[in-house]
Amino acid sequence: MATVEVQQSSLGEAPAKAVPLAPATTSVHDSKWPYPAEQDGWKVSHDGLRKQMQDLQRALSALIARSKDGTPIPAWQREILKTWMDRFVKNVEDHHDHEEHIFYPALAKRITLPERFTSDHKHLMEAVGEMHHMVNTLAATESNPLDGLQALKAKMDVFQPEMDEHLREEEVQGIPLQRQAFSQKEWQPLVDQVVSESKPMDLPGVVLHLDWDAKREWMLVQGIPGFVVKFILLPRCRKYCKQVFARLPQP
Query: pLDDT at position 158, please?
Result: 98
Q: What is the pLDDT of residues 20-64, one digit of tens each?
A: 655 444 444 567 999 999 999 999 999 999 999 999 999 999 999
What burial letters (b/e) apply to 16-43, b meaning 16+ CB within 10 Å? eeeeebbeeebebbeeebebbbbbbbbb
* % residues pLDDT > 70 (the chain): 88
Mean pLDDT value across the chain: 87
Cβ-proximal residues to 242 (8 Å cutoff; 6+ apart), any chain: none
Query: pLDDT at position 146, please?
Result: 93
> What is the Cα–Cα distance from 49 to 54, expressed in whole angstroms?
9
Q: What is the DSSP string of 14-52?
A: PPSS-BPPPPS--TT--TT-SS-GGGSHHHHHHHHHHHH
Query: pLDDT at position 7, please?
Result: 35
Query: pLDDT at position 230, please?
Result: 95
Q: What is the pLDDT of residues 109-136, one digit of tens each?
A: 999 999 999 999 999 999 999 999 999 9
Q: What is the CATH number of domain 37-247?
A: 1.20.120
Q: Per-residue pLDDT for 205 more than 60?
A: yes
Query: pLDDT at position 26, please?
Result: 45
Q: Which residue has the higher pLDDT, 150 or 27?
A: 150
pLDDT band at 233 (very low <50, low <70, confident <90, very high): very high
Which residues, listed in sequence order, are joined to residue 210 by a DSSP beta bridge? 19
> What is the Cα–Cα distance from 250 to 69, expressed in whole angstroms?
15
Q: Per-residue pLDDT for 12 more than 70?
A: no
Domain range list for the chain: 37-247
Q: What is the rounded end-to-end Cα distance, in angstroms, of the chain?
A: 50
Query: Range with the lowest mean pLDDT among 88-92, 164-168, 224-228, 244-248?
Result: 244-248
Q: Please give the average per-residue pLDDT across 186-211, as a whole number.
A: 90
Q: Which residue has the higher pLDDT, 38 or 200?
A: 38
Query: Range with the lowest mean pLDDT among 10-19, 160-169, 200-209, 242-251?
Result: 10-19
